[in-house]
Amino acid sequence: MKTILVTSDNKIYRAISNGKSSSGKTVGQAVDALTAQFENPDDETLYIVQRWQPDDFFTAEQQKRLSELMKKLRDAQNFNQEFTLEDREELEKLIKAELEGSGKRAEKIANELGR
């Protein structure tokens, strides 16, 4: 299964997964452009659309660092700049943390709805 993280800054949506990235004017455009880069676009995929508001599950500091690393990755891809293994590993950890936070958010909402 692939995981695609979608973020937004200044009305441009960016999708990232497995070292690939794309952008678009909508979430769908960004995801479609990224999916077209995959060898097996029909594989099962988990989409995370980040809402960019800090909470108990993903802090403002984590969001800031994720933004910095995503910009660095885009620059590396667009301008043939370095994106180190260390940066990639940190980016993957932050994506995993946001994924876990999303699950915890969903669980919290489900519990609140079940009351």
pLDDT tens digits, one per residue of 52-69: 678 899 999 999 999 899
Cβ contacts of 23 within 8 Å, gap of 6 or more: 12, 13, 14, 15, 29, 30, 33
Reported as a single tens digit per residue, the pLDDT across 8-49 is 666 677 777 777 788 888 888 888 888 888 877 666 666 666
Give the span between the Cα atoms of 32 and 23, in whole angstroms.
9
Which one is predicted more confidently, 6 or 102? 102
Tokens of 45: 């995929």
Q: Residues 95-109: pLDDT tens digits? A: 899 888 877 887 877
Gyration radius from the chain CA atoms: 15
Q: What is the pTM of this model?
A: 0.58
